[in-house]
Amino acid sequence: MERDVHLLSEAEAGVPGARAYFWDDAWVSLGRFQRPERVFSGTVPELWVQRPTGGRAVQHGQDVCLSVAVPLTTQDTIRSLRPIYERLTSPILAAFQSMGIDAVIANDDTGADGGISADCFALRTGYDVTDRATGKKLGGCALRVTSQAALLQSSFPFGPMESEIQGYVGVFTPFDPAKVIEAFGIAVERVLSTELVGKTI
């Protein structure tokens, strides 16, 4: 999380960047406004961390995380969040599309299980990445916008996981994470080349 915070700080200084990473254990990340005692079904586990972005809890360990941060102009920050979100997710969508997965932004809100849950994957929102053909949620995305920059954090599960999150759903689509990371790097350079100018981390 500190590295993603650094991405945002660098973007605020005018230097955009992106990164892809895995987790070395079964960690849970919470949105910046979530409280752990309200998220976990039992005792609060040791392996959890607070994200700098919002959103719900995400189980990690069998997922690939993709983050993008870019500087913003005054004109960007007075507009709605949607154009900023679309700008930051564009290399992610391009990466999956290059692999034959028709990833799109959901554009609607649909409860996945009809209940109340602290789990990101229990709900599909208009800011999630989904499969156009099936409508299935591929990944959860969370945004942080400051007066100078924006940070997008995303998680794409590729295998089954267990979790201590209340109401955990565990939605995932099998894919090769190494290929996604490679495609993401290429897409970042191509789609955001005018902003990132080879600064991918």
Tally of CB atoms within 10 A around 149: 24
Q: Is-catalytic flag, 120?
A: yes
Strand-pair category, 28-30 with 48-50: parallel
Residues 6 or more apart in contact with residue 199 via CB below 8 angstroms: 15, 16, 17, 18
Q: What ranges in the chain are assigned the alpha helix state H?
A: 2-12, 36-39, 74-78, 81-98, 177-191, 193-196
Active-site residue identified among 8, 105, 120, 165: 120
Task: For residue 147, give the 3-state DSSP assignment.
Answer: coil
Q: Please answer whether residues 40 and 166 qualify as being in contact, where contact means their C-beta atoms are separated by less than 8 angstroms.
A: yes
Residues 6 or more apart in contact with residue 5 via CB below 8 angstroms: 52
Q: Cite the active site residues.
A: 120
